Structure 1
Amino acid sequence: MTAPGPGLERFRHAETGVLLPPPGHGTAVRAYIRRDTGIGSAAHLNRFPAQPFCTVTWFLSGTVHNGVSSEAPALDAIVVGGPFTRPASTFSAGRIHAFTVVFFPDAFARLAGLAPASLADRLLPARDLLPAAWHTLLDDIAAAGDDSVRVACMSAFLAANGETALAPQVNWLHRLREAAGFDRLCERQVERKVRQATGQSLRALRRAERLETALLDAREAAAHGALHWATLAGASGFSDQPHLGRECRKLAGTAPAELIDRQARDESYWLFRCWR
């Protein structure tokens, strides 16, 4: 693995991480993302892969633009993001302090009364989009003093909305197929139910999950000097290494080897570096 580049060194004081939800959050929340680039941090891109989840993000300080420069429209202080079918970028004009809740799309549809398909590839003002029952939560998280309080606010909201069951120790897509009735309905009916619940086909969800697993495994292998792309591609369910490369370029925006290198050298890939 190459050493961090100058772009990454400028953000050595950034506080960025992914928090896994406590068990009481049931099957609603995939993760929390926290990011504070610190006072005086440089303007930079934020790169995101295609992903099947829905998000709510609070920009607690700073301005973020929905594009690749400050010429792009500025986003609201709180935004809803839908599933993304392609890689996306935003631009931070300077210091940014943000908190994101990553929801499983079927749970977000239940909680918000919104079809994930209607949110696809979009970042929209949360106050204009979410029902009134969410507005106190939006205010409470924006005013919270730290991330533990923000997580507690979300916990209370989930409990009040019946999303408190312990998450079963099964894969999300398997759980989704079970909820869609794969054991009693034909494949076409299951596919229709999955698409209604998530805004994407079961095939697209499997592709995203497969690539995520492969890239996490690649990052781990690279950290131990044991990365062999052809072996990893086969173990991850790809037909061969070129197949992995095509999927990575389509869903993450760059070739696999380049992506692993950029995670270590380019701050715009911060989410790839900290995702788990």
Structure 2
Amino acid sequence: MTAPDPGLERFRHADTGVLLPVPAQGAAVRAYIRRDTGPGSTAHLNRFPAQPFCTVTWFLSGTVHDGVSAAAPVLDAVVVGGPFTRPASTFSAGRIHAFTVVFFPDAFARLASLAPASLADRLLPAREVLPASWHSLLDEVAAAGDDGARVACLSAFVAATGEVAAAPGLPWLRRLREAAGFDRLCERQAERRIRRATGQSLRALRRAQRLETALLDAREAAAQGTLHWATLADANDFSDQPHLGRECRKLAGTAPAELIDRQAHDESYWLFRCWR
């Protein structure tokens, strides 16, 4: 078992969590993430898995570096993140208060007139890459008094663009396949449309979704004391347990069992712990 992070006790009262969007906007926004490590929090890493989404993050207070130490470049106060094809890390120098909106990449491409592929594996200053129509929103979210007001600002912005789910309950990849025309175009044409809309192939998107589902299932099973890796791998369409292990190391940066353990003992894995 992993030894507890020496500074973990200082994060016990961190305000960290995931907020889900209203159903009508579920075709554009995957989630909102809040993170305030609180007074006395120590410098620490923030680890993130490979993921197909696009993000906008406001660092409302504190300093965050784009790397694994304070020697790495300092990130801007508001950054845009593209899809990540590999695990990534940032370094927080001390107390951090941040707020993130997680967009589905195809919706973000429409909202921001940006190709997700151009943002892949990067965190970029928001004002340098987002169109001028976003700049007042960036200021409004930064000035909002609390996370509820920040969500309200973003919800109003998305609603004004007309990005509303026609079928809120339809899974994202199914919506994406239908929008790409898999039912009327040849597979190669539809695949090109998906890559253009998301920056990744449908296969890569499926792999990311499969691992996310498996890790959420593993976290729940571990909490109940019923975790059996071979059974979980089979239930989530991996060929076997070693296949799950390879995918987890590639997309999340560590082996599955170690990842589940680190969620509880290493604060740098806070996102894995709170994601749902």
Q: Find the aligned partners of 2:57 and 2:50 in 1 and give their Cα distance.
A: 17
Q: Find the aligned partners of 1:27 and 1:119 in 2 and give their Cα distance.
A: 20
Deviations 1:124-162 (A, max 9, x none): 000111000000100000000001100100111011111
**Which residue of structure 2 aligns with residue 236 of structure 1?**
236
Are 1:178 and 2:182 counterparts? no
Q: What TM-score do the two structures reach when normalised by structure 2?
A: 0.97
AA partner of residue 171 (structure 2): N
After superposition, where does 1:77-226 map in structure 2 within 5 Å? Answer: 77-165=77-165, 167-226=167-226
**Which residue of structure 2 aligns with residue 60 of structure 1?**
60
AA partner of residue 9 (structure 2): E
Q: Find the aligned partners of 1:148 and 1:2 in 2 and give their Cα distance.
A: 36
State the shift of 1:167 in Å. 4.7
AA partner of residue 21 (structure 2): P
Q: Find the aligned partners of 2:40 and 2:255 in 1 and give their Cα distance.
A: 32
AA partner of residue 256 (structure 1): P
Q: Does the CA contact (< 8 Å) of 2:106 and 2:198 recur in 1? A: yes
Q: Extract unaligned runs of 5+ from structure 1.
A: none
State the shift of 1:3 in Å. 9.4
Q: Does the CA contact (< 8 Å) of 1:23 and 1:166 recur in 2? A: no
After superposition, where does 1:8-23 map in structure 2 within 5 Å? Answer: 8-23=8-23
Deviations 1:103-140 (A, max 9, x none): 00000000000000000000000011100000010000
Q: Extract unaligned runs of 5+ from structure 2.
A: none
AA partner of residue 227 (structure 1): L
For residue 226 of structure 2, give the secondary structure of its aligned residue in structure 1.
Answer: coil
Q: Find the aligned partners of 1:58 and 1:209 in 2 and give their Cα distance.
A: 26
Q: Find the aligned partners of 1:72 and 1:138 in 2 and give their Cα distance.
A: 25
For residue 232 of structure 2, give the secondary structure of its aligned residue in structure 1.
Answer: helix
Q: Does the CA contact (< 8 Å) of 1:25 and 1:167 recur in 2? A: no
Are 1:32 and 2:32 counterparts? yes
Deviations 1:216-269 (A, max 9, x none): 000000000000000000000000000000000000000000000000000000
Q: Find the aligned partners of 1:247 and 1:66 in 2 and give their Cα distance.
A: 25
Deviations 1:175-206 (A, max 9, x none): 10000011111111111000000000000000
AA partner of residue 183 (structure 2): D
CA change 1:274–1:167 in 2 (3 A) is: farther
The alignment yields a C-alpha RMSD, in angstroms, of 1.3
AA partner of residue 270 (structure 2): W
Q: Say how many residue pairs are matched.
A: 276
For residue 33 of structure 1, give the secondary structure of its aligned residue in structure 2.
Answer: strand
AA partner of residue 241 (structure 1): Q
AA partner of residue 11 (structure 1): F
For residue 10 of structure 1, give the secondary structure of its aligned residue in structure 2.
Answer: helix
Q: Find the aligned partners of 1:74 and 1:182 in 2 and give their Cα distance.
A: 43
Q: Find the aligned partners of 2:215 and 2:7 in 1 and give their Cα distance.
A: 22
Q: Find the aligned partners of 1:12 and 1:175 in 2 and give their Cα distance.
A: 39
CA change 1:167–1:89 in 2 (3 A) is: farther
